[in-house]
Structure 1
């Protein structure tokens, strides 16, 4: 045990460097492009992410009108996998830390 200014620290308190901190959430952003049809983008959102037809359409319109939409979120590894999948579908996508 370590002693700091007369107080005794437990092994839990001195072993903070090995304690994993909660992971920050990440989000998958799909960007507008001049190549893919809106119907195709909607289909990708439904088939890959499992979004309802209405939600997929809403996200597709957001991509079309605003230039981007957050289509998924979660742990970094999952979000990275989703971005890679979007690239394989031919969509432009990036990963961002959630605020």
Structure 2
């Protein structure tokens, strides 16, 4: 493994070590279309969340306008966001605030 010298660009290995994976969040947003029971069912079906947890998340979406539904690597959150879109829910991803 090569080490960079002062003034040279770091190697890929050094970049991976120097930049740990930053977690990302999946945010589901409230919308005027989907029923609360449907949102709860999506959270239970897709994520496998227990009814109580799925209901808490749905209520946060409903009352607060959004909820953080999952956290993990960016690529995984992108897959989850696309799945939420496929279910007809509004979802975005964002980097976890440092």
TM-score range, shorter chain: 0.7 to 0.9
Q: Distance in 2 between matches of 1:29 and 1:61?
A: 14
Q: Give yes or no for the alignment of 1:12 onto 2:6.
A: no
**Runs ≥4 in structure 1, deviation > 6 angstroms?**
none
Residue 91 (structure 1) aligned to one of 89, 92, 96: 89
Q: Does 1:25 pair with 2:23?
A: yes
The alignment yields a C-alpha RMSD, in angstroms, of: 1.6
Pairing of 1:56-75 with structure 2 (within 5 A): 56-75=54-73
* Offset, 1:23: 1.6
In structure 1, runs of 5+ residues without a counterpart are: 1-9
Q: Report the equivalent of 1:55.
A: 53
Counterparts of 2:73 and 2:2, CA distance in 1: 29
- TM-score normalised according to structure 1 size: 0.84
Structure number with the higher strand fraction is 1
Using structure 2 for the length normalisation, give the TM-score: 0.85
Q: CA deviation at 1:13?
A: 4.7
Q: Larger Cα Rg: Structure 1 or Structure 2?
A: 1
SS in 2 for 1:34: coil
